[in-house]
Amino acid sequence: MLFFIAIFIGAFLLFQVQPLIAKVILPYFGGGAAVWTACLLFFQAFLLLGYLYAHLLSKIGDFKKQALVHSVLILLSLCLLPIGSLPVETVAKLAETENLPLTNILLLLATSIGLPYFILSSTGPIAQHWFSLANHKQSPYKLYSLSNVASLIALLSFPFLIEPFFTSAQQSLYWSVIYFVYAIVMAALLVQIARNNNQPKLSGESRVEREDDISKQHDFVSIYTRWTPLLWLGFSTLGVIFLVSTTNAMTQNVPPVPFLWVLPLCLYLLSFIISFHSPKWYVRWYWFALFMLTAFIAIFMFFIGSQFDITSQVVIYSSILFSACMLCHGELARLKPAVDKLTFYYLTLAFGGFLGSVLVAFVAQNIFTQFLEFPLAIVGLFILFSVAVYRENNRVDKLSLTSLALAIFCGLTLWQLNNLYVKTDVHSERNFYGILSVKDVEIDGKKERRLIDGTTSHGTQSLMPETAHIPMSYYRENTGVAIAIEQLSAMKKQSQQSLHAGFIGLGAGTLAAYGNEGDSYRFYELNPAVVEAANQYFSYLKHSKADIDIVVGDGRVSLTKTLNANNRENFDLLVIDAFSGDSIPQHLLTVESMKLYWQHLTANGVIAVHISNTHLNLLPLMQGLAQQSDKELVYFKTKAQTENGHDTQWVWLTNNQVLLENSVTKAYRTTIPNNDKPVVWSDDFSHLLSVLK
């Protein structure tokens, strides 16, 4: 029974800590989807180290030595509790280091939860190894299914039971308490095995007898050859590539919050549970047919996925991921070896998972200017599946030939569609923060240039010389932000002063077009690629009459650093427009962030927030933050002027009575609907479902 308890608790903690710790560090590194990708790389790396440790530990001939080594490491890991209590100064310092966000995230996670995570990751394979020694006639592979069930429960409980009702500090505390219980259970398990004197040695006869007994419980036992580990490696690598790339696809336009991290991970684990629980649950031809169907959908989703609402996107991407993982993990179950190679098998799977994360986080980011790893993984899986079928039958049959033909067809389709998609690109770049492209398009016979972050336009400029200076899109005349700048500038002129404005988010630099002589505009931009694109491919910054200053780094972190140096910006206006894809990072819209902003504003200052969003209704959140700040909320909804234009939503938070009573403000402000209850987010508590449309 202790085997089951130890494996269950260990797997539960292993996956519960993933969204927990990722959410803690998310605000310090810009709040983008790449933060979760970096965390997944860390989790896969330490899972590999844990499996390697379990493999090497199992090779020690004396169980008492195994127990001693493992006990010492568990005791050392207890010294790092409670987890999650990261020194703010240390985190902020790491976050400020330019061009090293991925390295710094890995370093931060390694020093904060590295050892406990390492111990937990080794629990499954080493406990299964000990179980196989103590129970000669039972297969340990069902314990792998049990561990995945525990992992699934951990992930599902986080967004629905943990995140909505507990603060981050409370989550860290309860996790640490359960980890202490886990340590006690592991100690009891080690004592039990030692008392039963189960030495890690198997005679040739007992091994054969045990494998014969186990084979009777299964429909097949894989034939192990020297090439088999390569198939293990290939399928496990592709499974993780699908996991990470699908998560990236779903979170391009929605904040990368725990729910959207957890769902893909749950489907990934569910495929493991189904595949390893019983061979009857993986019917090869059925899952191949399903993957074949979803593969064609996936190729088109790569190009048009942003056109669907968030619910449709989640359902479609989830179907693609699950069918792909079932094919990967079903084949891994067919290929599982006899128990004497159990730890090596798990080690290879862990290495494949790590390799998949590395390919997405490092290789793909430096080779591709788009998320091409997603459709290429589909082509790769068709090819690998064809090889696996051929290896099993030692001949080319209809299934292997069909799979290979589909790989060629999908590859050619991807190549043709991608050529059409990028033909309007002037510039394209991919880095840690995502994909940025500059496209020249023709709308209603007029040429214009757009800055695209992911799939969302972050600025538009006319390519016609006579209209190139006019702000367009979300920043056009009579929008909330345009009115704020123009009216505050007019008020400043009356007192013979200039406007001092801050902007969190640069985009194409469109708002610089509103600058007048003597005005000072300070832009905060996290992504260096955006700064380069705005300066090189757009002229708003170059031709602005205002004095322009650009600070590279997260806006909130930069403002905090300024305040810690006992300086205040004294902005008349602070614009929050730091979109990542189609969403504002959550850490920029919390009670604590608003408190910081007000410390950098003058007494009559205005905060203008861009809340146009396809998937999220941010107005209730702004109402809640206005109430918390004791400020009046002014809402502007500007309808599109053309068929291809954008409806635009902005809000002001201010107590500037002169501005509030201004005739222009009154003329353009929009009545706030009373349909929704105000929502409040804090650094310690935020919930995406509260603002989902």
Flag whether pLDDT at 213 surpasses 60.
Answer: no
Choose among 130, 205, 153: nearest CA to 11.
153
Tell me the three-class secondary structure of 558-575, residue by residue: HHHHHHHCCCCCCEEEEE
For 310-343, the pLDDT digits (tens) are 788 889 999 999 999 999 999 999 998 887 788 8
pTM of the model: 0.79
> Judging by DSSP bridges, how do beta strands 648-654 and 571-576 pair with one another?
unpaired
Grouping H, G, I as helix, E, B as strand and the rest as coil, residue 79 is coil
Find the largest Cα–Cα distance for the chain: 97
Q: Among 3.90.550.10, 3.40.50.150, 3.40.50.10490, 3.30.70.260, name the CATH number for the domain at 477-690.
A: 3.40.50.150
For 177-190, the pLDDT digits (tens) are 999 999 999 999 98
The pLDDT confidence band at residue 646, using thresholds 50, 70 and 90, is: confident
* Cα angle for residues 135, 140, 143 (degrees, 5° grid): 120
DSSP single-letter state for residue 670: B
CA distances from 294 to 158, 290, 319, 323, 375 (A): 28, 6, 7, 7, 11
Placement of tokens 């988010």 in the chain: 505
Placement of tokens 């969003």 in the chain: 613
User: Across the chain, what does the average pLDDT equal?
Assistant: 86
For 277-301, the pLDDT digits (tens) are 777 888 999 999 999 999 999 998 8
Domain ranges of the chain: 1-215, 222-337+368-419, 477-690
Flag whether pLDDT at 677 surpasses 60.
Answer: yes
Contact present, 461 and 467 (Cβ < 8 Å) = no
The pLDDT confidence band at residue 210, using thresholds 50, 70 and 90, is: very low
Length of the chain: 693
For 468-492, the pLDDT digits (tens) are 999 998 999 999 999 999 999 999 9
Confidence (pLDDT) at 336:
87
Summarize the confidence of residues 401-414 as an average pLDDT: 95
Contact present, 334 and 28 (Cβ < 8 Å) = no
Flag whether pLDDT at 217 surpasses 50.
Answer: no
* Cα angle for residues 92, 357, 349 (degrees, 5° grid): 130
CA 380 to chain centre: 23
Choose among 388, 414, 386, 412: nearest CA to 400.
386
Number of Cβ within 10 Å of residue 373's Cβ equals: 21
Grouping H, G, I as helix, E, B as strand and the rest as coil, residue 665 is helix
* Cα angle for residues 335, 330, 303 (degrees, 5° grid): 130
Contacts of 363 (CB under 8 A, 6+ apart): none
Flag whether pLDDT at 381 surpasses 90.
Answer: yes
Contact present, 659 and 604 (Cβ < 8 Å) = yes
* Cα angle for residues 690, 692, 693 (degrees, 5° grid): 130
* Cα angle for residues 143, 149, 150 (degrees, 5° grid): 95
Exposed, middle or buried, 510 (CB in 10 Å: 0-12/13-18/19+)? Answer: buried
Beta bridge partners of 525: 552
Flag whether pLDDT at 411 surpasses 70.
Answer: yes
The pLDDT confidence band at residue 136, using thresholds 50, 70 and 90, is: low
The pLDDT confidence band at residue 212, using thresholds 50, 70 and 90, is: very low
Flag whether pLDDT at 496 surpasses 80.
Answer: yes
Contacts of 266 (CB under 8 A, 6+ apart): 152, 155, 156
For 574-629, the pLDDT digits (tens) are 999 987 555 667 788 999 999 999 999 999 999 999 998 877 889 999 999 999 99
Choose among 557, 562, 659: nearest CA to 607.
659
Number of Cβ within 10 Å of residue 586's Cβ equals: 22
Flag whether pLDDT at 59 surpasses 80.
Answer: yes
User: In angstroms, rounded to a whole number, what is the distance separating the alpha carbons of residues 489 and 491?
Assistant: 5
For 418-453, the pLDDT digits (tens) are 998 888 999 999 888 888 999 999 888 889 999 998
What whole-number percentage of the chain has pLDDT above 90?
51
User: In angstroms, rounded to a whole number, what is the distance separating the alpha carbons of residues 160 and 637?
Assistant: 33
Q: Decide if domain 1-215 falls under CATH 1.20.1250.
A: yes
Confidence (pLDDT) at 211:
45
Number of Cβ within 10 Å of residue 464's Cβ equals: 11
* Cα angle for residues 459, 602, 493 (degrees, 5° grid): 75
User: In angstroms, rounded to a whole number, what is the distance separating the alpha carbons of residues 559 and 548?
Assistant: 17
Placement of tokens 């002037």 in the chain: 426
Flag whether pLDDT at 205 surpasses 50.
Answer: no
User: In angstroms, rounded to a whole number, what is the distance separating the alpha carbons of residues 47 and 240?
Assistant: 13
Beta bridge partners of 634: 652
Grouping H, G, I as helix, E, B as strand and the rest as coil, residue 523 is strand
| Strongest mean pLDDT among 98-107, 356-365, 570-579 | 570-579
Summarize the confidence of residues 395-419 as an average pLDDT: 93
User: In angstroms, rounded to a whole number, what is the distance separating the alpha carbons of residues 362 and 372?
Assistant: 13
Choose among 537, 692, 572, 682: nearest CA to 163.
682
Contact present, 294 and 323 (Cβ < 8 Å) = yes
- Listing DSSP states for 579-606 in one string gives -BTTB--GGGSSHHHHHHHHHTEEEEEE
User: In angstroms, rounded to a whole number, what is the distance separating the alpha carbons of residues 237 and 138?
Assistant: 29
Confidence (pLDDT) at 219:
43
Flag whether pLDDT at 644 surpasses 70.
Answer: no
Exposed, middle or buried, 621 (CB in 10 Å: 0-12/13-18/19+)? Answer: buried
| Strongest mean pLDDT among 70-84, 387-401, 564-578 | 564-578
Flag whether pLDDT at 204 surpasses 50.
Answer: no
Summarize the confidence of residues 37-64 as an average pLDDT: 88
Contact present, 603 and 570 (Cβ < 8 Å) = no
Kindly state the helix (H) or strand (E) to which residue 548 belongs, with its residue range: strand 547-552
Choose among 593, 687, 587: nearest CA to 258.
687
Confidence (pLDDT) at 258:
65
- Greater confidence (440 vs 249) lies with 440
Tell me the three-class secondary structure of 482-522, residue by residue: HHHHHHHHHHHHHCCCCCEEEEECCCCCHHHHHCCCCCEEE
- Residue 269: both structure tokens together: 């684990």
Flag whether pLDDT at 688 surpasses 80.
Answer: no
- Residue 587: both structure tokens together: 């850490």
Beta bridge partners of 425: 439
